[in-house]
Structure 1
């Protein structure tokens, strides 16, 4: 009788342990789980596909003040692009080009620049497009060709256990030697922070805050405070998905 009871107890204990192990296995998160949660929080892949016209202003902050600003308008379907900014001498620079062909026309205070200067401004504008849009759109770029994503061990930041995605790159972009780490809230799918090590050896870490619906359900962070510099960061005072755009915005200064 005692042997029977002991056998039954052993079965129950083994069953209980197996159940706990099964639960532990079921809660293991994969890289795909984290990426899908990010997409869910951002509005979904279909929402991004339907977001044809995107406008945003990239405004670096220092000591709580805007130190410069670049305004972007992008037709994602055609690649047509408009970039507006101020030069160090406070002149208005407008560059109209196509991000696919990298050809277009530049205007300084309303005057067309000669070819020698125009090619330089288009190259600079393309670099600004790559840099500025990545600060806004990085969570939507994880499945792009040439992006290598690895799931690292979770880390606790400000009391919350976050998933960590490590990004490296193949032969894509202007600086393929860059590395990024995205810290993702597993409950919400929000990127809470990123840190980076650029191929230039520059390092940085910024929180991701002020998530907003840019239009049509596309949700992204519009303020990235620098965690190592009080009052520093990157703001997007303008960030919107537009339903239509006057085509002359891409052809006329």
Structure 2
């Protein structure tokens, strides 16, 4: 069980950190697929103009974070505010920087001064953010990718999809392949498959509930695993123009 949990944690963290794609088609087709992805999300400009995001997430993937939890994220300065509850229903607030990984932990608005106790909460909250934000914001996938490629189009029902193979390689964790099915007409990600090292399917997410979150940016807000009960939902997602500075400094 511990090894399996470590595998899942490594997988979600690595998705945020390092992406590489196998070469199989021309750069022209590769660029067309990327532009199609941007189209499906409302355009590259919509993403670039969105600085602040407020979103909540509900999933069974995080053992230490029961129920719905929320974030306010400054995409430019990497500052983030987390709000949720502990397993014993105490208020948990974590203020951190997604780049430096430094932060402060507050329980019932009181700071946890002890570094070991603080780290016990800070690390899983950081990893939860990497996972939750990765699935929600496909533009982060595009920004992180150095090389992309697609296989031939596949017909599923009456729709055609580009099939994009992704391989993530990271020392100490191994290789983590994924496969994206992108609608050739809308540019939306229809299905997102994640595989274990042995080739078995770790997740088989179907996306749904696409939402215009502000500024023309369109994001999927529900990921349901077709093979299990695993589900990731985002009840609240909004792109914000301004956020009070003390949201990132005070509990």
Report TM bin, short chain.
0.7 to 0.9
Alignment coverage as a number of residue pairs: 218
Residue 121 of structure 1: how far off its partner (Å): 1.9
Displacement of 1:198 in angstroms is 4.3
Tell me the equivalent position of 1:3.
none
Provide the aligned C-alpha RMSD in A.
2.5
Structure 1: unaligned runs, 5 residues or longer: 1-28
CA contact (8 A) 2:72 2:80 kept: yes
Q: Name which structure has the greater RCO, CA cutoff 8 Å, separation 6+.
A: 2
Pick from 166, 186, 189: which aligns with 2:187? Answer: 189
Paired residue secondary structure (1:123): helix
Structure-to-structure mapping, 1:64-213, within 5 angstroms: 68-113=67-112, 114-138=114-138, 140-145=139-144, 148-171=147-170, 177-198=175-196, 203-213=202-212
Note the alpha carbon deviations across 1:60-102, whole angstroms, 9 max, x for none. Answer: 279xxxx622211101111111111221111121110111111
Contact 2:193 2:201 in 1 (8 A): no
Match of 2:24 in 1: none
Residues 13-92 of structure 1: pairs in structure 2 closer than 5 A: 30-60=29-59, 68-92=67-91
Q: Which moved more, 1:174-183 or 1:44-53?
A: 174-183
* Mapped pair 1:242 → 2:240: yes
Q: 1:176 to 1:40 in 2, by over 3 A?
A: farther
Q: Does the aligned pair in 2 maintain the 1:147–1:168 contact within 8 Å?
A: no
Q: Does the Cα contact within 8 Å between 1:146 and 1:170 map onto a contact in 2?
A: no
TM-score (norm 2): 0.78
Q: Secondary structure at the match of 2:239?
A: strand
Higher-Rg member (1/2): 1
For structure 2, the residue ranges without an aligned partner over 5 or more in a row are 1-27
Contact 2:166–2:177 (Cα < 8 Å) also in 1:
yes
Q: Alpha-carbon deviation of 1:225?
A: 2.1
Which runs of at least 4 in structure 1 moved beyond 4 Å after TM superposition? 198-202
